[in-house]
Amino acid sequence: MGKIWLVTGVSRGLGREITRAALDAGETVVATARSADAVRDAFSGQHDRLHPLSLDITDAEAANRVAAETVERFGAIDVLVNNAGYAELGFFETFTDAAVRRQFEVNLFGAMNVARAVAPHMRARRSGLIVTISSVSGLVSNGGGSVYSASKFAVEGWMEGFAQELAPLGIRSLLVEPGMLRTDFMDRKSASFGTIGIADYAEAVAQYRAFVAGANGKQPGDPKLLAARIVALALQSEAPSRLVFGDDARQWAGAKIDQLRQEIARSADRG
């Protein structure tokens, strides 16, 4: 039967590709989204190793039920892929407080809900892998990405520490930091824009929104290739703690590291 996977956000995008790659590798996948029917539609019918379940990751009790049901049915959760998320794209002051909190509710606290539900089962077996889909935006922030990056920076800090807590118990962690992927992540299904008009930002916001519209569907990263890499790493006995995926992501992350080194050096020079 292979490994038992629990994947969130499967109805489209990278989650769908990860699920497909895992199924192609002979794995069994409990595939979740807010609508189980949306998962079924995404896979054009039933697959004998695909098991769709509805899960809103912001509902902690629902996450507990899905984890318990998976373990009861299959005996284990070998791999958790915390993938579900979305992006608030735009300038910080154009977002309401509610929109910012919603970004964290899904991207950070939702992922925490699922990890909190799954970790006890992995601890009991002293085995498991938690794959967290972060972003290069969890390492580097730019104008227009401040709110989304804030949520992903938080995910990075949480998982970097949580992974060290889990490692002595036989549980591994893989943080995935893609650059721009050719998914629907930047369209209205997965991205949201600020709603407050501010004259000082109007021109810059218009340029940013034009950039997003122009990039959507033309992103350089291949989600199928990333999904295959994630599945291959999950099936290895040893895997890296991070996967920075895409030339763009590696360039941005490298530039950030260089910038930090320079700033640290300048701080030392100043005493």
Mind telling me the catalytic residues? 134, 148, 152
CB 121 within 8 A of CB 9: no
Residue 101 CB: number of other CB atoms within 10 A?
Answer: 12
DSSP 110: I
CB 129 within 8 A of CB 173: yes
CA 269 to chain centre: 38
Question: Which residues, other chains included, contact 253 with Cβ-Cβ below 8 Å and sequence gap of 6+?
Answer: 136, 139, 140, 177, 244
Q: Tokens standing for 51?
A: 């098991």
| Amino acid in position 69 | E
Dihedral pair phi/psi, residue 171, rounded to 5°: -105, 125
DSSP 108: I
